[in-house]
Amino acid sequence: MSIGTASKALNGRGRMRVETRDRVLAAAERLGFRPNPFAQGLLAGRTYTVGLVTSDSFGRFSIPVMLGAEDALDAGQISVFMCDTRDDPIRERHYVERLLARRVEGIIVTGRRTEPRPGIGRDLPVPVVYAMTQSADDSDVSIIPDDEGGGALAARHLMATGRTRIGHVTGPQSFEAARRRAQGMTTALGSAGLAPAGEILYGQWSEEWGRQGADVLLHESPDVDAVFCGSDQIARGVAETLRERGRRVPEDVALVGFDNWEPMALGCRPPLTTVDMNLGEIGRLAARHLLDAIAGDPAPGGVTIVPAGLVLRESTRRGTS
């Protein structure tokens, strides 16, 4: 039997007797034959491979993104080379070079900050999509969460449960995410003729800051009846201080976090209502855009914003007060 015929049998091409085909299939099975992807790739000029570069040390934000991307890519039989840059530009260049040398058909770049960042290179021979981070070059495709919408969502939910004196404790003002969330909240309150209770309290992304920030807020606006927090960690700190100062959550003060980081949100007392950025969806979308681009149908450059959702838990249960 010729080798060419065997190839056809395995791939279901050409015409041949079923018996012959079966014989080949059986033999292949018996011998544990696996086609050499290098030979196939050499011929086809394709690798069915993409690279995923993260600067988040495979952290809390990039992982759900990766899982979403894997979902979408797996359907296309695409395998993923993972590289973690440890936030080091040198490593990043190194990995991008390596991925290109391996002839990946596209690259997804993820991060932990949504701030625009320098692209990974100009005129790369393959399409690139930025997920959960944004390229400074707006001819690139970037997919980011809707921080502003998330802030608005939180504010509207709090108003819907009857709160009107809503404070905000969040991370450093140097983070675009923090500014956007605050903006979304302020705008939503404004639409209802309200304003935030007290100043927007910018600080750190930590529980410790949440504890301090809550004290500041209680001092400035003792009649506050809700707090929207820039992260679940901050919210936990706020919850703790509120309790220690004798305010009941949610009866006296309702609380909304941000991230839906379950170990934090569920460990909180009470469990935390929080904004979910739909990171998985960001990853899936990034992967789909990449697949389209690989298939020759690139999305126009620009930023795509994925809507956030709200996960309801005890911390905003409608008060009986």
Partner DNA sequence: ATGAAAGCGCTAACAT
Partner DNA sequence: ATGTTAGCGCTTTCAT
Binding residues (CB under 7 A) for DNA: these are 1-5, 7-8, 10-11, 13-17, 20, 33-36, 39-40, 42-45
Counting contacts by CB under 8 A, is residue 90 touching a copy of itself?
no
Residues 6+ apart with CB under 8 A from 147: 114, 176, 177, 180, 181, 184, 277, 308
Q: Which does 16 bind (CB under 5 to 8 A by kind): DNA, a copy of itself, none?
A: DNA
Interface pick for a copy of itself out of 207, 225, 276, 281 (rule CB under 8 A): 207
H helix intervals, 2-36: 3-11, 18-31
C-alpha 135/C-alpha 132 separation (Å) is 10
Nearest residue to 53 via CA among 80, 82, 74, 73: 82
Closer Cβ to a copy of itself, 225 or 259, answer by number: 259
Counting contacts by CB under 8 A, is residue 84 touching a copy of itself?
yes
Closer Cβ to a copy of itself, 196 or 237, answer by number: 237
DSSP state string for 52-108? EEESSTT-TTHHHHHHHHHHHHHHTT-EEEEEE-TT-HHHHHHHHHHHHHTT-S-EE
* Cα torsion through 58, 61, 65, 66, rounded to 10: 10
**Piece of the chain touching a copy of itself by CB under 8 A; list 94-102, 139-147, 160-168, 218-226:** 94-102
Q: How far is the CB of 22 from a copy of itself (least distance, A)?
A: 22
Interface pick for a copy of itself out of 25, 28, 83, 299 (rule CB under 8 A): 83
**Piece of the chain touching a copy of itself by CB under 8 A; list 22-30, 36-44, 144-152, 158-166:** 36-44
Interface pick for a copy of itself out of 10, 25, 63, 310 (rule CB under 8 A): 63
Closer Cβ to a copy of itself, 158 or 277, answer by number: 277
Give the other-Cβ count within 10 Å of 155's Cβ. 28
Give the other-Cβ count within 10 Å of 145's Cβ. 26
Interface pick for a copy of itself out of 12, 263, 296, 300 (rule CB under 8 A): 263
Give the other-Cβ count within 10 Å of 299's Cβ. 16
Task: Determine contact, residues 277/257, Cβ cutoff 8 Å.
Answer: no
Closer Cβ to DNA, 33 or 58, answer by number: 33
- Binding residues for a copy of itself (CB under 8 A): 32, 34-39, 41-42, 47, 52, 57-59, 63, 66-67, 70, 77, 79-84, 98, 100-103, 125, 206-208, 233, 236-237, 240, 263-264, 266-267, 269
